[in-house]
A = this chain, B = another copy of it.
């Protein structure tokens, strides 16, 4: 058997530790699969004297990133620094040094992937990022290789575990967003500063990557429409339920005749769909492809060992193709670098979908007629409507509607007009709906 492949890790936090743990615990099985061992020989950590649940005996530990990145012995760098500044510098430095790179850093790939892959292409090295989307689920591999014969039509995914946990708890317990967030923070499912998760930024990073792999387009994080779950109220969760829907935070990218849709937002999903039944911190990605039809990939989207699982899979892939002519390797973004196309990305106004609308209306004849007139004038037809009993002590009723498929700018125009009506109080709540049909 060949000598073990030498790996240098930047960052021995949760994911770094998980990676070393998986490599050590399953060393024998991994070597039987890869044909040679994969060993972490160098690691950069903030605290050098911490004790770990894995052995650091045979590792060179350092606090200096360049000690690892510039070490001629190291063949593959695992970048787990987070952020997009030092991580970018170190990744480019590793590539410049002729090293392959594995990263779990979705922000880095979404924002600087085009630059990083171009540098890697130039140098003939691999940059692997299975852990960047869906944690341990091999979703990058499925889209990039498993569906290589397909024209991919759309992808819809639950790709942020924190948001999915919060929405699951809100539904199961009828709780408020703020209460569940506090609970999620206590349980460690949400960070102290959870903006990236609850405002959809993290999901947008991941969606950027999926869209590139699916459609052969450059990474374009700045064109993703982003909406988080902070404005979802328990009453909408309940009304959605009455209509047979569950609210999920989805990343959606879709090929249309006019361009690519790229959007992250809360979405009503029919409750019979598998995706609607993915609960808690779990992730799942549904792919609609022309030959295969629908396929779904489900698993743990975060955590030390699941993310470690994806990183080790990348290390095995790289180990197997170390001697392969770079032109014959799986391309970074599924399509050959010279075969990417610059399809237009649609603005959210140009997106077509179904809508859930909720408004507070004066309980008086005529108000509803005005509302339906406005909708009709804007070419919006209604699939279902519920009018709730007036809240005691008020003269207002909640009116909930589901529309048919329509362009978002029409809905926005209608909402503006409805909000100006005399009998309507406050804002019209609008949540998008996806049927997820094949």
Q: How far is the CA of A18 from the CA of B299 in the complex (A)?
A: 30
Segment 27-42 of A: residues with Cβ below 8 Å from B: 29-35
Chain A, 366-412, CB within 8 A of any chain B CB? none
A290 at the interface (CB under 8 A from B): yes
- Tell yes or no: A295 within 8 A of B by CB: yes
Question: Within A144-167, which residues are at the interface with B (CB < 8 Å)?
Answer: 145-151
**Chain B contacts for A311, CB-based, 8 A:** 149
Shortest distance between the CB of A272 and any CB in chain B (Å)? 8
Establish whether residues A35 and B138, one from each chain, have CB atoms under 8 Å apart when the complex forms: no
Contact in complex: A328, B324 (CB < 8 Å) = yes
Using CB atoms, name the residue of chain B closest to A149: B312
Known: A142-B142, A330-B320. A335 touches B32 (CB 8 A): yes
A32→B320 CA distance, assembly (Å): 23
Asked whether B309 lies within 8 Å of A291 as measured between CB atoms, the reply is yes
- In the assembled complex, the Cα of A137 lies from the Cα of B148 at a distance in Å of 12
A291 touches B308 (CB 8 A): yes
**Would you call A317 an interface residue if the criterion is a C-beta within 8 Å of the partner chain's C-beta atoms?**
yes
Chain B residues near A16 (CB-CB < 8 A) = none
Copies of this polypeptide in the complex? 2
Interface residues on A, range: 35 or more
Cβ 8 A contact of A274, one of B291, B298, B322: B298
> Per a CB cutoff under 8 Å, which of B141, B305, B324, B335 touches A145?
B141
A293 contacts B298, C-beta separation under 8 Å? no
Report A114-150 CB contacts with B as 1/0, cut-off 8 Å.
Answer: 0000000000000000100000111001100111111
- Are B320 and A306 touching (Cβ within 8 A)? no
A324-B328, A335-B33 known; A149 and B22 CB under 8 Å? yes
**Is A343 close to B, CB under 8 A?**
no
| A18 to chain B: closest residue by CB | B291
B-contact bits for A313-344, CB 8 A (1 contact / 0 none): 10111001111110111110011100100000
Binding site for B on A (CB under 8 A): 18, 22-23, 25-26, 29-35, 130, 136-138, 141-142, 145-151, 216, 274, 277-278, 284, 289-300, 305-306, 308-313, 315-317, 320-325, 327-331, 334-336, 339
